[in-house]
Amino acid sequence: MSRGFRLGEDDLQQLVARTRGVSASVGAQASVAPAVAAPGPAPASAPRKSAGGGRSSRVPVPMKVSEDELQISCFEWIELMRPAHPILEWVIHVPNGGKRPRGAAGKLKAMGVKPGVLDVLLPLPYNGWSGLAIEMKVGKNTTTEQQDDWLQVMGASGYYTAVCYNLEEFMAHVNRFLVAPSPLTPEYISRHQSAYLASRRSRPTAGR
Protein backbone atom coordinates (compact mmCIF):
# COMPACT_ATOMS: atom_id res chain seq x y z
CA MET A 1 0.00 0.00 0.00
CA SER A 2 1.43 3.40 -0.97
CA ARG A 3 2.04 5.85 1.84
CA GLY A 4 -0.08 8.97 2.15
CA PHE A 5 0.96 12.04 0.20
CA ARG A 6 -0.69 15.37 -0.62
CA LEU A 7 0.43 18.15 -2.92
CA GLY A 8 1.01 21.57 -1.49
CA GLU A 9 -2.02 23.76 -2.15
CA ASP A 10 0.03 26.25 -4.19
CA ASP A 11 1.49 23.49 -6.38
CA LEU A 12 -1.92 21.96 -7.02
CA GLN A 13 -3.63 25.27 -7.77
CA GLN A 14 -0.88 26.31 -10.18
CA LEU A 15 -1.25 23.07 -12.13
CA VAL A 16 -5.05 23.28 -12.17
CA ALA A 17 -4.98 26.93 -13.24
CA ARG A 18 -3.15 26.00 -16.44
CA THR A 19 -6.09 23.94 -17.63
CA ARG A 20 -8.95 25.83 -15.98
CA GLY A 21 -10.07 27.03 -19.41
CA VAL A 22 -11.04 23.50 -20.41
CA SER A 23 -12.27 22.22 -17.05
CA ALA A 24 -15.93 21.44 -17.64
CA SER A 25 -17.76 18.13 -17.68
CA VAL A 26 -21.18 17.27 -19.06
CA GLY A 27 -23.80 17.56 -16.36
CA ALA A 28 -21.44 18.74 -13.63
CA GLN A 29 -19.44 21.78 -12.58
CA ALA A 30 -15.66 21.43 -12.72
CA SER A 31 -14.00 20.99 -9.35
CA VAL A 32 -10.50 20.32 -8.09
CA ALA A 33 -9.94 16.64 -7.44
CA PRO A 34 -8.06 15.70 -4.27
CA ALA A 35 -4.37 15.04 -4.76
CA VAL A 36 -4.96 11.55 -3.39
CA ALA A 37 -8.41 9.99 -3.36
CA ALA A 38 -9.91 9.72 0.10
CA PRO A 39 -10.03 6.19 1.54
CA GLY A 40 -13.35 4.41 1.41
CA PRO A 41 -15.25 1.60 -0.28
CA ALA A 42 -14.09 0.97 -3.82
CA PRO A 43 -16.58 1.79 -6.58
CA ALA A 44 -18.18 -1.12 -8.41
CA SER A 45 -16.45 -0.24 -11.65
CA ALA A 46 -14.43 2.50 -13.30
CA PRO A 47 -15.81 4.76 -16.00
CA ARG A 48 -14.65 3.23 -19.24
CA LYS A 49 -15.71 2.57 -22.79
CA SER A 50 -17.20 -0.83 -23.45
CA ALA A 51 -16.26 -2.86 -26.48
CA GLY A 52 -19.60 -2.03 -28.09
CA GLY A 53 -19.75 1.62 -27.01
CA GLY A 54 -19.58 4.63 -29.26
CA ARG A 55 -17.63 7.82 -28.90
CA SER A 56 -18.04 10.12 -25.93
CA SER A 57 -21.17 12.31 -25.96
CA ARG A 58 -19.26 15.09 -24.19
CA VAL A 59 -19.84 18.66 -25.30
CA PRO A 60 -16.38 20.20 -24.74
CA VAL A 61 -15.87 23.87 -23.89
CA PRO A 62 -13.91 26.12 -26.28
CA MET A 63 -10.20 25.36 -26.53
CA LYS A 64 -8.03 27.70 -24.47
CA VAL A 65 -4.91 25.62 -23.86
CA SER A 66 -3.08 23.24 -26.15
CA GLU A 67 -3.06 19.50 -25.68
CA ASP A 68 0.71 19.69 -25.21
CA GLU A 69 0.28 22.16 -22.32
CA LEU A 70 -2.39 19.96 -20.76
CA GLN A 71 -0.18 16.87 -20.93
CA ILE A 72 2.77 18.74 -19.44
CA SER A 73 0.61 19.74 -16.45
CA CYS A 74 -0.60 16.14 -16.10
CA PHE A 75 2.93 14.77 -16.02
CA GLU A 76 4.07 17.44 -13.56
CA TRP A 77 1.31 16.16 -11.27
CA ILE A 78 2.36 12.55 -11.94
CA GLU A 79 5.92 13.43 -10.96
CA LEU A 80 4.74 15.02 -7.70
CA MET A 81 2.63 11.93 -6.94
CA ARG A 82 5.36 9.42 -7.78
CA PRO A 83 6.98 9.27 -4.28
CA ALA A 84 3.64 8.15 -2.81
CA HIS A 85 2.79 5.79 -5.68
CA PRO A 86 5.99 4.24 -7.14
CA ILE A 87 4.02 2.52 -9.93
CA LEU A 88 3.67 5.97 -11.56
CA GLU A 89 7.38 5.80 -12.43
CA TRP A 90 6.31 3.80 -15.49
CA VAL A 91 3.59 6.11 -16.80
CA ILE A 92 4.61 7.24 -20.28
CA HIS A 93 3.41 9.53 -23.06
CA VAL A 94 3.19 8.11 -26.59
CA PRO A 95 4.12 10.94 -29.03
CA ASN A 96 1.96 9.81 -31.93
CA GLY A 97 0.40 13.15 -32.84
CA GLY A 98 1.79 16.44 -34.04
CA LYS A 99 3.31 17.59 -37.31
CA ARG A 100 6.22 15.64 -38.78
CA PRO A 101 8.87 16.61 -41.32
CA ARG A 102 8.30 15.45 -44.90
CA GLY A 103 8.92 11.73 -45.17
CA ALA A 104 8.97 11.16 -41.42
CA ALA A 105 5.48 9.64 -41.29
CA GLY A 106 6.40 6.88 -43.71
CA LYS A 107 9.59 6.10 -41.80
CA LEU A 108 7.75 5.96 -38.48
CA LYS A 109 5.10 3.67 -39.96
CA ALA A 110 7.82 1.36 -41.26
CA MET A 111 9.33 1.33 -37.76
CA GLY A 112 6.04 0.15 -36.28
CA VAL A 113 4.26 3.35 -35.25
CA LYS A 114 0.48 2.91 -35.49
CA PRO A 115 -2.29 5.54 -35.54
CA GLY A 116 -4.61 5.93 -32.60
CA VAL A 117 -2.31 4.72 -29.80
CA LEU A 118 -3.46 6.50 -26.65
CA ASP A 119 -1.55 9.45 -25.20
CA VAL A 120 -0.84 8.20 -21.67
CA LEU A 121 -0.01 4.59 -20.90
CA LEU A 122 0.99 2.59 -17.84
CA PRO A 123 1.67 -0.83 -19.40
CA LEU A 124 1.98 -2.69 -16.09
CA PRO A 125 -0.69 -4.54 -14.06
CA TYR A 126 -1.76 -2.80 -10.87
CA ASN A 127 -4.62 -3.18 -8.40
CA GLY A 128 -6.22 -5.88 -10.53
CA TRP A 129 -6.12 -3.75 -13.70
CA SER A 130 -4.01 -4.80 -16.68
CA GLY A 131 -2.74 -1.23 -16.84
CA LEU A 132 -3.84 2.36 -17.44
CA ALA A 133 -4.61 4.00 -20.80
CA ILE A 134 -5.81 7.60 -21.17
CA GLU A 135 -6.47 9.71 -24.25
CA MET A 136 -6.08 13.48 -23.74
CA LYS A 137 -8.26 15.99 -25.61
CA VAL A 138 -8.92 19.73 -25.45
CA GLY A 139 -11.63 22.02 -26.76
CA LYS A 140 -13.94 20.50 -29.35
CA ASN A 141 -11.57 17.67 -30.23
CA THR A 142 -13.05 14.19 -30.11
CA THR A 143 -11.54 10.73 -30.39
CA THR A 144 -10.76 9.31 -33.82
CA GLU A 145 -11.92 5.93 -35.06
CA GLN A 146 -8.45 4.51 -34.45
CA GLN A 147 -8.35 5.91 -30.91
CA ASP A 148 -11.77 4.39 -30.22
CA ASP A 149 -10.40 1.05 -31.40
CA TRP A 150 -7.50 1.27 -28.94
CA LEU A 151 -9.81 2.36 -26.10
CA GLN A 152 -12.10 -0.58 -26.77
CA VAL A 153 -9.46 -3.29 -27.18
CA MET A 154 -7.54 -2.13 -24.11
CA GLY A 155 -10.75 -1.89 -22.08
CA ALA A 156 -11.65 -5.43 -23.20
CA SER A 157 -8.15 -6.51 -22.14
CA GLY A 158 -8.61 -5.29 -18.56
CA TYR A 159 -7.07 -1.82 -18.76
CA TYR A 160 -8.56 1.16 -16.94
CA THR A 161 -9.36 3.50 -19.86
CA ALA A 162 -10.56 7.11 -20.00
CA VAL A 163 -10.73 10.22 -22.17
CA CYS A 164 -9.79 13.40 -20.27
CA TYR A 165 -10.29 17.05 -21.22
CA ASN A 166 -8.62 18.72 -18.24
CA LEU A 167 -6.25 18.18 -15.35
CA GLU A 168 -9.02 17.59 -12.80
CA GLU A 169 -10.44 14.71 -14.86
CA PHE A 170 -6.96 13.26 -15.30
CA MET A 171 -6.27 13.39 -11.55
CA ALA A 172 -9.64 11.83 -10.75
CA HIS A 173 -9.13 8.90 -13.13
CA VAL A 174 -5.54 8.22 -12.05
CA ASN A 175 -6.60 8.38 -8.39
CA ARG A 176 -9.39 5.90 -9.06
CA PHE A 177 -7.03 3.58 -10.89
CA LEU A 178 -4.73 3.67 -7.86
CA VAL A 179 -7.32 3.03 -5.15
CA ALA A 180 -10.25 1.17 -6.77
CA PRO A 181 -9.52 -2.52 -7.45
CA SER A 182 -10.62 -3.77 -10.85
CA PRO A 183 -14.00 -5.55 -10.74
CA LEU A 184 -13.04 -7.64 -13.79
CA THR A 185 -12.11 -11.30 -13.38
CA PRO A 186 -9.45 -12.99 -15.56
CA GLU A 187 -12.20 -15.09 -17.12
CA TYR A 188 -14.20 -11.97 -18.03
CA ILE A 189 -11.14 -10.30 -19.55
CA SER A 190 -10.18 -13.36 -21.56
CA ARG A 191 -13.71 -13.77 -22.90
CA HIS A 192 -14.22 -10.13 -23.82
CA GLN A 193 -10.78 -9.68 -25.33
CA SER A 194 -11.30 -12.73 -27.53
CA ALA A 195 -14.76 -11.52 -28.55
CA TYR A 196 -13.50 -8.06 -29.47
CA LEU A 197 -10.56 -9.36 -31.50
CA ALA A 198 -12.86 -11.77 -33.31
CA SER A 199 -15.26 -8.92 -34.14
CA ARG A 200 -12.46 -7.04 -35.91
CA ARG A 201 -11.57 -9.79 -38.35
CA SER A 202 -14.27 -8.78 -40.81
CA ARG A 203 -13.45 -5.06 -40.64
CA PRO A 204 -11.51 -3.26 -43.40
CA THR A 205 -7.85 -2.76 -42.58
CA ALA A 206 -7.50 0.69 -44.12
CA GLY A 207 -6.23 3.27 -41.66
CA ARG A 208 -4.95 0.80 -39.07
Domain of 93: which CATH number? 3.40.1350.10
Residue range 112-142, pLDDT digits in tens: 678 899 999 999 999 999 999 999 999 989 9
Residue range 65-90, pLDDT digits in tens: 788 899 999 999 999 999 999 999 99
Count of domains in the chain? 1
Q: Please indicate, yes or no, if residue 40 is contained in any of the structural domains.
A: no
Q: Please indicate, yes or no, if residue 140 is contained in any of the structural domains.
A: yes
pLDDT band at 11 (very low <50, low <70, confident <90, very high): low
pLDDT of residue 29: 29
Dist. CA 175–CA 33, nearest whole Å: 9
Please state the pTM of the whole predicted model.
0.68
| Domain housing 185 | 9-25+62-97+111-200
- Pairing mode, strands 131-136 and 92-93: unpaired
Q: Please indicate, yes or no, if residue 31 is contained in any of the structural domains.
A: no
Which stretches within 35-103 are classed as H helix? 67-81
